Every structure is written in structure tokens, then in C-alpha cells.
Amino acid sequence: MLKYALIIYHFIKFMTFKNINNNPEFNFQEFFDGKLTAYGAIFNFFGKLDTRFIMESQVVENPNFNKDKKVLYKQTVKNIDTDKIKDMISYAIFEEKDKTTLTYKDDMMVKPARYKILGNKANVKYKLKVEGKNITVFANDWAYMITKNHVINKIKIKKFGIPVALILMNIVKES
């Protein structure tokens, strides 16, 4: 089995041509301007699939992305397994001076966090409130721009430094 895993690993590494560049450059303003649909999954502490969801996001205020202004989004999250729906409001502040940072906050975050853009990826660390409980967890959130209309999002959730969940999302921008 290990032999086959190594063959697959080397094949994938060969197919990447050894150099993964930073293209396309991650431009938050362009990507988040419009309607987005995210298809996601939450894996529990044991790595078992726990929840599948679809999230739709749409700009509801400041759709012209005025510089240094707050942009509000309406997000609707549907749990695929239970058909439960939750509406949230989030905001982003795009900064004119520094194109590599973005301040973001949604209903579940303890306080706003600052994304740092690094080529075709972005990273932010923040605290989340667990819904219905008086518990906060730490999130390490990475977003990878695959094409100008597709982003893969990986969020590792920890409590007391111990991994408790993993959230994966495929975010698609509608043209």
C-alpha cells in the first residue's frame, strides 16, 4: 500500500512541474464583488465527516467597493443533512493603502480579524464562538485562489492547542 501511495505522490509532484507559482494573484476586492457559493464540509476531531453545507454570499451594502469603506454581505448557510438554514451578516473593510490586508468579521467571530494576502493565498487567525455554547475556539484560516473564480478554503479549528475540527470549502464566484 505504501508503494502505491509513493507512486501517486511522485506522479502528483511531477504534474505540478515542481514550481507552484503565486498566480493568479489573490485580489479580494475582485473575487468578493458579486455572488459567491461555497460548498463545504466540517470534519470532527476524529477526521469523520460531521456536517455538509452550502453557503451563498451576496454584497448587500456598498456594492461599488468604495475604497477604505465597509462592505456588508448577507450569507445564507444551509445544512445539507438537516435542511436547517441560518442567515448571517458579515463585513469586510478593503484598504486603499495596503492591498495585502483585509479586515473581516462575521456573526460567529469574537472580534474582527485581518487577512494577510501572500500571492495566491491568504491567511487569518481568529477566535470563534461555538453556536449555542459559551465556548470559543481558535481558527487558522487559509484561502487558496485556484482560478479567478475559484477559491479553496481550509480552516483548522483548535481548542487549548488541540485540533478539534477541520472545515473545507470550495468557493465559486458566479460570473
| Residue 69, domain extent | 2-173
In 16-169, which ranges are continuous DSSP H helix?
A: 28-31
Phi-psi region of 46 (alpha: psi -120 to 50; beta: other; left: phi over 0): alpha
Task: Record the pTM.
Answer: 0.77
In 16-121, which ranges are continuous DSSP H helix?
A: 28-31
- What DSSP assignment string belongs to 121-148? EEEEEEEEEPTTSS-EEEEEEEEEEEET
The most confident of 3-12, 81-90, 101-110, 133-142, by mean pLDDT? 133-142
Question: Cell 473545507 identifies what position?
Answer: 168
**How many angstroms separate the CA atoms of 20 and 18, rounded?**
6
Q: In the chain, how many domains are there? A: 1
Q: Is the pLDDT of residue 49 over 90?
A: yes
pLDDT band at 64, cuts 50/70/90? low
107-160 pLDDT tens trace: 777 787 777 888 888 898 988 888 777 888 999 999 999 998 999 999 999 999
21-30 pLDDT tens trace: 677 888 777 7
CATH value at residue 73: 2.40.128.20
